[in-house]
Structure 1
Amino acid sequence: MSIEIAVFGAGCFWCVEAAFEKLKGVEKVLPGYAGGELDNPSYKQVKTGTTGHVEVVQIHFNPEIISYKELLEVFFSLHDPTSLNKQGADEGTQYASAIFAVNAAQKEIAQRAIQEAQPHYDKPIVTALYDNVPFWEAEDYHHHYFENNPDQPYCSLVVAEKVNKFMKKFAHKLK
């Protein structure tokens, strides 16, 4: 089995991780940080919005079951790619809409996906597209955060709503 990696920033990584890990063909989802100026930043540092890092998920997937293009379709559905550094009440550069392509093929597919998605939005898509940059895994307590903290207010009010909407739209792709 061949496993590939995708890295996306689409707002709070708790929401994004909770959705992507439910997809057939996704073997593992790690919350973390990409971009920025510090090596191995902490959540405390990133949440200030001053480090240049984006909250991201690193998705390990089997391309024989789910393609990178299909992952991009899910990515665009999980957030507002026309909102600069803001998703709902979450505001700051750490919540940017961003794709971190790990190779030239992903970059090309992502560029096409952005162009194909644009007609579906009234405002310009502001999703940033980066070449492969280092990924820094988030602290352990962020892993499976929604699953482990369903009654935490942010999870019960924000994450649950996004995950439920996602599950209805992509029911045919769920494990």
Structure 2
Amino acid sequence: MTETAVLGGGCFWCTESVFLSLRGVISVTPGYSGGHLENPSYEQVCSKTTGHIEVVRLVFDPDIIDFETILQVFFATHDPSTLDRQGGDVGPQYASVIFYQSAQQQETAQKLIEQVQAELGVPVVTRLLPAQKFWPAESYHHNYYALNPGQGYCQVVISPKLAKFRKRYAELLAV
């Protein structure tokens, strides 16, 4: 039995590369959710007019990794206190968001948001929204970091983030 999580924490290239590393995560698909346009393209989402957020859809085995642990990693690998931005990536498509798939996920996410806010001492702006239609991103976005490690954004933004993540969560990494 598997579960699904849909999370947005800035650029989906970063978020995908983090979650692909976790033991118990079966698949990670970058895409778009939360907007009003059917089957949006990357260019349309980047126009900031569709209402979509860059997200990843995770399919995971809850017997190996639970939703709470996934959210702990999520909050540790992006800044949930900045509205519609992660570092140099600015715009509503980079919002911090959890599209909960069940009442249990909603409850767990609300608890974690409160904990993170208490730890940070600043407001957490992560949106907690009910599940919405997920649109997979174009194929060239899938597994982007692994296929393009020499690309500038990957070297400057994703590689340092992954190194920090791997050090902090070594016990959760897939072999």
- With the shorter chain as reference, the TM-score category is over 0.9
Look up the match of 2:92. Answer: 93
2: CA distance, partners of 1:125 / 1:173: 25
TM-score (normalizing by structure 2): 0.98
Q: What residue is the counterpart of 2:121 in the other structure?
A: 122
The alignment covers a number of residue pairs equal to: 174
Partner of 1:33: 32
Shift of 1:78: 1.0
CA shift digits 1:47-95 (9 cap, x unpaired): 1122111000000000000000000000001110000001000000000
Which residue does 2:139 correspond to in 1? 140
Query: 1:160 aligns to what?
Result: 159
Q: Which residue number corresponds to residue 78 of structure 1? A: 77
Residue type of the alignment partner of 1:32: G
Q: How far apart are 1:122 and its partner, in Å? A: 3.0
- C-alpha distance in 2 between matches for 1:43 and 1:155: 18
Query: Matched residues in 1 for 2:73 and 2:48: separation?
Result: 25
CA distance in 2 between partners of 1:27 and 1:77 (Å):
21
Show the counterpart of 1:61: 60
Report the 3-state secondary structure (helix = DSSP H, G, I; strand = E; otherwise coil) of the residue aligned with 1:41.
Answer: coil
- Partner letter of residue 6 of structure 2? V
Q: Distance in 2 between matches of 1:99 and 1:38?
A: 20
Over aligned residues, Cα RMSD in angstroms? 0.7
* Match in the other structure for 1:44: 43
Q: 1:174 is matched with which residue?
A: 173
User: In the aligned structure 2, how far is the partner of 1:32 from the partner of 1:83?
Assistant: 21
**Structure 2 CA distance, aligned partners of 1:37 and 1:169?**
37
2:84 maps to amino acid: N
Give the SS at the match of 2:81.
Answer: coil
